[in-house]
Structure 1
């Protein structure tokens, strides 16, 4: 496959490449057009990141990747955090994967689309409209090279031998046919990655071709040999190249089509190497770049490479260590953020996760003494805080002062923030639910005219609203809206699917009760009932008075912050 144009001329992705980095010089030193990297985890909980609170797990004294005297499983993330602004009240838009990813990329709530609840699979058609504004389109329209490396999970289109849509898993897909409605069709000049989660087939790398514009499933997309990754053997796959993978007891991954050379355990290494190659190529071409890097980890399967086994003392912990390690390798490719001549010095790095930790991972972590959802109630799928309050970090050397902020926001706000950086005035239908937090990044107060609140959504379609102050939260239902069994703030198991739109609703004061322990509507005062009605009215204005959500309006005032004149 031909690489994205800059790479094909300048970059050695042909042959063996290892993740070793010379000093990353910054060809693009235009502060008005900083490079941008979005690192996006899959199922990493608020408490998984050491910077948000020490782990209680006992780290093996012989760990090759951790210091047993330092209580963290994420040393690279922690180091990054020390040089970034850490948001303690940053949220994903949903308690599960597909909707959060869509909302991050578009600044548009996914429940405004046909995806009202749940997630897609590896073969699911896209729910993203062809003309939907995206973060890729934002940067590409401003002269950036845009790329995505990793997991999409917003759906795409596969075809049969006659070129007819065949998104079904019944043996009629012709994997030699170009795939459509991919990231390469939604604002990214180049895509190398996989359709969905690492436990969902097809298990093969896909790549966009610079000359034809087509996206193909690859055979031998990337081969790892020790510290080296070989991309040179890749070619478009035929059905004869692929095999059937049968779910086994090594780890959980669904049965399905697989490139026989695709190794689950090597995904993160391959991803890190591809990103490092892209950065090197963009630097050589003196191009501003935006790279979206959605990792498939630490979601199932916990595909731990041999060298990381035992590093944390429990499998999920080992996978966190591996995820953190390759995060470090990607950050290393930018160079030293303290070096004004490095790529890092002119790069905005945004790091977050699509939702809280998985059920099984949470339970196994607690046995080892590790609290994956941190001080919060709920886990993945819920729209209690543990389901949507996630790691949320931004580094921009020389512009953003390192520290912490409790500014309440959600991930789609990043699109609006970067539009502000680029002095681009968003149109009414572009990132309509997103509010720029650029003032927060540069130490200024937010404007008085504000979005009144934002939505947290659950796996089963339950709505919750947080007001703009971050103090009040109303859930339109009696439970967490996600899991039949979940964890409270003390990590005690609670069995409560709850009734969506059921009564009594739940009202929490998050400033006083971030663990959502006391539902103020169980013994309400007149003042509390007025607050419930105020938030419920606002919720319905945003979601459109529909149980599962419609267009509605977040009514976001567009008051740009002029960072560069």
Structure 2
């Protein structure tokens, strides 16, 4: 698959920027692999006609990365433009009743856009923590058993820039199983239910209904905001979907459609949900003036039943090594499609390395704002790339695995600071150490996309250079130009003594 030559993009690009600020819709799938989108992986076996059409109508980024190979830290980076490993969350994810991760007063994409006249809404899976009142002495992670469901929620989505929120607190397999609207639970849980984990649930809450409900609400939001958008009051819709993450619960009308597996059915339903939102935008007459971004929070999870998918000839990571949780690219290189007819050339491709953290700087660029020194420390605007302009290489992207292992990508070179996957893939780090594998991995991503040949012994100079570069990016509290900032916690690059 070849990228559109830069000169062709420049010739076809609009002569000037669109006069109006676009509406922005950011759709974040949950655990969808790079190879699950047929437009990015023609050898894949799961039909994704709506995403394929979106790719044909816009730009496909083929080297886009989430800020982490798991849920919570990725979402933090999307909204704040800062790597989550700069916070106290050094590994793993939050749970359904965890306290908030976004610091009070931190600028987010939502708060920035609201300051510039946008209506802002979040519909879907939050998974960034919120302050739920506890009763009976409940503290910390207790699967929602001690939450006071009649009390208001503090420091959730509406405290970080969103005018409104409807959705769930974390992943669909994390209690409490009840919807939240703005700062209130919509019901008081009266029963317990189990979707992998067991916890308090609203009596009529069913996991299979969540994706359709979120889709319906997103469509309704677009329709309700269309008149104001046409009058110059744009909107920002952040739509973090709950699919195709576990529990894998395709709706009855989608069950069996793929002929492969429930996961494949769920991917098809997710594709259709995106299509419904795109259709709503177009029906409302907002297609030309709306920037729609579709991506995924990390790679496909092994919970998707990889052996069954592989037997049918489908690899959800495509040509990449690893899956969700891993430091290899299958853990964090993700689908990333952008549709904006007023500015983006249909059917174009961008091979530039980009990161989810780039949303905040992109929003600032769109509204003509300058980010303060203590915001968007790891964010670089995508606007020039979207418009087909020639831009210098992005500063290095830092990758992070579920166990907190680090990697740095600069140009063609990727340095990994662990001997194994850093996650769930084989070999895990302990297994790799047992087999005497080197403590670092170095890959040439231009010639070895599948990360098969470790070149650390052949290029010790590159290992040393990238190690020092990563150490500096950590010490500076930012990876972009600007005044140094403080990290919120001590960052341990190596995770254990003596592994250098």
TM-score (norm. length: structure 2): 0.87
Asked if structure 2 preserves the Cα contact closer than 8 Å seen for 1:159 and 1:167, the reply is no
Deviations 1:38-57 (A, max 9, x none): 00011000000111112454
**In structure 2, which of residues 242, 253, 275 is the aligned counterpart of residue 307 of structure 1?**
253
Q: What is the DSSP-based 3-state SS (H/G/I as helix, E as strand, rest coil) of the residue aligned with 2:69?
A: coil
Q: What is the DSSP-based 3-state SS (H/G/I as helix, E as strand, rest coil) of the residue aligned with 2:282?
A: coil
Asked if structure 2 preserves the Cα contact closer than 8 Å seen for 1:158 and 1:166, the reply is no
1:297 corresponds in structure 2 to 243
Asked if structure 2 preserves the Cα contact closer than 8 Å seen for 1:451 and 1:554, the reply is no
Cα distance in 1 for residues equivalent to 2:356 and 2:242: 18
- Cα offset, 1:306, TM superposition: 0.7
- Cα offset, 1:167, TM superposition: 5.4
- Cα offset, 1:557, TM superposition: 6.1
Matching of residue 111 in structure 1 with residue 36 in structure 2: no
1:94 corresponds in structure 2 to 68
**In structure 2, which of residues 12, 35, 55 is the aligned counterpart of residue 47 of structure 1?**
35
Matching of residue 204 in structure 1 with residue 178 in structure 2: yes
Cα distance in 1 for residues equivalent to 2:144 and 2:369: 46
- Unmatched 5+ residue regions in structure 2? 1-17, 484-500
1:69 corresponds in structure 2 to none
Matching of residue 531 in structure 1 with residue 462 in structure 2: yes
Asked if structure 1 preserves the Cα contact closer than 8 Å seen for 2:39 and 2:52, the reply is yes
Q: What is the DSSP-based 3-state SS (H/G/I as helix, E as strand, rest coil) of the residue aligned with 2:113?
A: helix
Cα distance in 2 for residues equivalent to 1:556 and 1:466: 17
1:554 corresponds in structure 2 to 479
- Cα offset, 1:446, TM superposition: 1.2
- Cα offset, 1:513, TM superposition: 0.8
Matching of residue 377 in structure 1 with residue 318 in structure 2: no
- Unmatched 5+ residue regions in structure 1? 1-29, 58-71, 209-214, 220-236, 487-493, 545-550, 559-565
Cα distance in 2 for residues equivalent to 1:461 and 1:380: 13
Q: Which region of structure 1 is more displaced relative to structure 2, 168-177 or 43-52?
A: 168-177
Cα distance in 2 for residues equivalent to 1:519 and 1:399: 40
**In structure 2, which of residues 457, 471, 475 is the aligned counterpart of residue 540 of structure 1?**
471
1:34-433 alignment to 2 at 5 Å?
A: 34-57=22-45, 72-161=46-135, 168-169=142-143, 171-208=145-182, 215-219=183-187, 237=188, 241-245=189-193, 247=194, 252-285=195-228, 286=231, 287-313=233-259, 314-335=261-282, 342-361=285-304, 362-402=306-346, 403-433=348-378
Cα distance in 2 for residues equivalent to 1:441 and 1:257: 44
- Cα offset, 1:499, TM superposition: 6.0
Asked if structure 1 preserves the Cα contact closer than 8 Å seen for 2:402 and 2:423, the reply is yes
Decide whether aligned partners of structure 1 residues 202 and 164 sit closer, same or farther in structure 2, where only a CA change above 3 A counts.
closer
Decide whether aligned partners of structure 1 residues 513 and 329 sit closer, same or farther in structure 2, where only a CA change above 3 A counts.
same
**C-alpha RMSD of the superposition:** 2.2
Asked if structure 2 preserves the Cα contact closer than 8 Å seen for 1:207 and 1:216, the reply is yes
Asked if structure 2 preserves the Cα contact closer than 8 Å seen for 1:163 and 1:177, the reply is no
- Cα offset, 1:372, TM superposition: 0.3
Cα distance in 2 for residues equivalent to 1:293 and 1:480: 30
Asked if structure 1 preserves the Cα contact closer than 8 Å seen for 2:380 and 2:480, the reply is no
1:229 corresponds in structure 2 to none
Cα distance in 2 for residues equivalent to 1:52 and 1:36: 23
**In structure 2, which of residues 414, 422, 426 is the aligned counterpart of residue 481 of structure 1?**
422
Cα distance in 2 for residues equivalent to 1:310 and 1:91: 31
Cα distance in 2 for residues equivalent to 1:391 and 1:102: 18
Cα distance in 2 for residues equivalent to 1:557 and 1:454: 16
Q: What is the DSSP-based 3-state SS (H/G/I as helix, E as strand, rest coil) of the residue aligned with 1:535?
A: helix
* Alignment size in residue pairs: 458
Asked if structure 2 preserves the Cα contact closer than 8 Å seen for 1:150 and 1:296, the reply is yes
Q: What is the DSSP-based 3-state SS (H/G/I as helix, E as strand, rest coil) of the residue aligned with 2:373?
A: coil
Deviations 1:262-291 (A, max 9, x none): 121111111111111111111133431000
Q: What is the DSSP-based 3-state SS (H/G/I as helix, E as strand, rest coil) of the residue aligned with 1:296?
A: coil
Cα distance in 1 for residues equivalent to 2:138 and 2:255: 45
Cα distance in 2 for residues equivalent to 1:121 and 1:457: 19
Deviations 1:374-423 (A, max 9, x none): 10001000110100000001111121112111000101112211211111
Cα distance in 1 for residues equivalent to 2:443 and 2:95: 34
TM-score (norm. length: structure 1): 0.78
**Structure with greater helix percent:** 2
